């Protein structure tokens, strides 16, 4: 019985185990996010894919002169919102005829981690939503999984009246590598 309890604690990350990479857990209030352990297996170059009930994303990552460059494809499943960034991580697009902007700026990178800043501004019906986060990308598992961590993500909602609400919302997304090459957008499983 004691062995089962100890094994359960190891599996859910509450008790460390020798030889098993441990997740990092960030706690905010009553919430906790566990980020999968990093690996040095694999590399970033290629095409990565993420899907949820709300949206789908494709990441194209390439290394030029030792620095990572990233291009992103975003498709919403809930709203008429989609964009494709350039290789500088920037996109300008319209939602309901109103200008919106997205930028995923690379700050620094090496073969095992990419650090950047994520800024996304959307306007509609007299409202504005701004999402800002420092982002860290690393591989996990066998090197064919990728995690984007947003440990300090904030969502600021501004009303036409001038009211503003800031929501602290740390988050992470897990991507799967679908190709070592940069595929055409038409090849993504959208």
> Is a pLDDT exceeding 80 seen at residue 15?
no
pLDDT in tens, 34-85: 777 889 999 999 999 999 999 999 999 999 998 999 999 999 988 888 999 9
- What is the pLDDT at residue 20? 42
3-state SS track over 66-126: CEEEEEEEEEECCCCCEEECCCCCEEEEEECCEEEEEEEEEEEECCCCEEEEEEEEEEECC
Label residue 1 by pLDDT band (50, 70, 90).
low
Q: Is the pTM of this model over 0.75?
A: yes
Give the list of residues 6+ apart from residue 115 with CB closer than 8 angstroms, or none.
Answer: 106, 107, 108, 109, 134, 135, 136, 137
| Among 74, 75, 105, CA closest to 87 | 105
> Is a pLDDT exceeding 70 seen at residue 12?
no
């Amino acid at each position: 019985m004691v062995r089962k309890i100890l094994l359960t604690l190891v599996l859910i990350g509450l008790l460390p185990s020798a030889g098993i990479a441990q997740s990092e857990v960030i706690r905010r209030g009553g919430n906790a996010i566990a980020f999968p352990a990093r690996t040095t297996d694999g590399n970033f170059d290629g095409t990565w894919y993420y899907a949820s009930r709300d949206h789908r994303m494709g990441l194209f990552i390439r290394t030029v002169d030792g620095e990572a460059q990233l291009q992103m494809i975003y498709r919403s499943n809930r709203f008429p919102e989609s964009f494709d960034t350039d290789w500088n991580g920037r996109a300008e697009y319209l939602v309901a005829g109103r200008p919106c902007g997205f930028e995923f700026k690379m700050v620094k990178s090496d073969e095992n981690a990419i650090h950047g800043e994520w800024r996304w501004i959307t306007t509609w019906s007299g409202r504005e939503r701004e999402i800002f986060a420092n982002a860290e990308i690393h591989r996990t598992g066998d090197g064919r999984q990728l995690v984007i961590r947003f440990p300090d993500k904030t969502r600021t909602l501004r009303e036409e009246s001038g009211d503003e609400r800031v929501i602290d919302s740390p988050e992470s997304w897990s991507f799967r590598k679908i190709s070592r090459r940069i595929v055409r957008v038409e090849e993504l499983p959208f």
